[in-house]
Structure 1
Amino acid sequence: MRKRTYEASEAAKREICAALKALMAQKPLNKITVAEIMQSCGMARQHFYYHFEDLYDAVRWMFDQEAVALLREHDGVMLWQDGLLQLFQYLQENRAVCLCALHSISREHLKRFFQTDVHVIIQGTIQRIAEELNYQVSEEEVDLLTKFYVGALASIMEEWLLGNIRETPEELIRFADQLLKDHVRGAALRMAETPPAAEQTCRGGS
């Protein structure tokens, strides 16, 4: 019984969000009302609030189910590029809706929709590359590198969506992948060439 209730709730959410997406492709989010969304999907207005707090909560759920889910399926070092490519394809296929969200919601709020999952994927990728190179990377370095690349990727996606970057998604992902690997390889090489602190102290004292 509980499973059926959950499935019915999820189906209702998807139907509401489908109606919301159709409207977002036509006009700004602040011009859309709950009443017209629910009228579009043949439900009573109050049913919206059984599932969502407000329109922004519905947008968040929609992106989480449709876009962020693509990233969660690709968390391996050889697969994260595929996840990002699918995300770019989602942005392309839903460009009008995504631009509506971008112009209607603060950029920082919109980035948070993706940031957590992108963070996990990039963090795991850095750790795996370091392991392949036998590079003992510290937690602090992993965290800093992850934040740097997550911020860079979020900005690239935003600029690409706005039409300010002409490169294809494939070109952007290849560039990001090579940059990330080169960064970790460079750090590993630098560490291999740097003598231990004790050795440096000994040389300085001689």
Structure 2
Amino acid sequence: MAQTTKRALAESMKKLLAKSPLDKITVKDLVEDCGVNRQTFYYHFHDVYDLVEWIFREEFANIAREEIDYGRWSEVLYRLADHLTENRALILNVYNSISHGEVTRYVNRVLRPYVAAIVEEQAKGIRVSLENRDFVTDLYTQGAAGLMCNWIETGMRRSQLLRLEKFEQAVDGSLGLVLKNFEGK
């Protein structure tokens, strides 16, 4: 029952975000739209920002369950772009209402496990410490996340996604070389 209520509040938040920026949405607006009382909202969340964070975590969990071909950077990036596009109103209104850092952290959290899987695949047969694999994962995650966040900042225009193709071209084959640079160190 608790998850059902949380999901209902999340759907109300998404619906309201389609019309208004996050900083204009109140708990009162949410409970009226959802048909629950304020106590119910506060039983589950501290405030509207806590609800948005929960939505991000749930969306991340859904993405993490998807099967992805870790041999192709573009699949990872375009999957995330598709997900963000499906939630365009939520992402843009959150991005424009609160610290851009929250959306940046979300994009990084979503991308990192996929990049880590790509790094692990490429590291097979190369003696690279966990610390260095972690560093390389952060390096590539932040590069990809930076492009994704720039895409969000520019209004999520489809034409900007061409930069993701350029990213894939730029990093194609480089990961193995970077990992070899750390071999035995």
- Aligned residue for 2:173, secondary structure, equals helix
State the match for 1:17 in structure 2.
10
Contact 2:77 2:164 in 1 (8 A): yes
* Separation (CA, whole Å) in 1 of partners of 2:8 and 2:90: 16
SS in 2 for 1:49: helix
Q: Give the aligned residue type for 1:138.
A: S
Paired AA for residue 118 in structure 1:
L
Q: 177-186 or 88-97, which moves further after superposition?
A: 177-186
Aligned letter for 2:35? G
Q: Give yes or no for the alignment of 1:130 onto 2:123.
A: yes
C-alpha distance 188-78 of structure 1, shift in aligned 2 (>3 A): closer
Query: TM-score w.r.t. structure 2 length?
Result: 0.82
1:160 aligns to 2:151 (yes or no): yes
Match of 2:24 in 1: 31
Note if contact 1:52-1:58 (Cα within 8 Å) is conserved in structure 2.
Answer: yes
Q: Are positions 1:139 and 2:138 aligned together?
A: no
Corresponding residue for residue 53 of structure 2: 60
Task: Indicate the SS of the match to 2:148.
Answer: helix
Task: Select the structure of larger CA radius of gyration.
Answer: 1
Query: TM-score, normalized by length of structure 1?
Result: 0.75
Give CA-to-partner distance per residue, 1:132-154, whole Å, 9 cap, x none. Answer: xx322232321221111111122
Higher relative contact order (CA 8 A, sep 6+): 2
Matched pairs, number: 184
Cα separation, 2, equivalents of 1:85 and 1:75 = 11
Identity of aligned residues (%): 30
Q: Deviations over 1:47-76 (max 9, x none)?
A: 101111211111111122225521442465
Structure 1 residue 178: deviation in Å? 4.3
- The CA RMSD measured in Å over matched residues stands at 2.9
Contact 1:71 1:80 in 2 (8 A): no
8 Å Cα contact 1:71/1:83 also seen in 2: no
Structure 2 residue runs without a partner (length 5+):
none
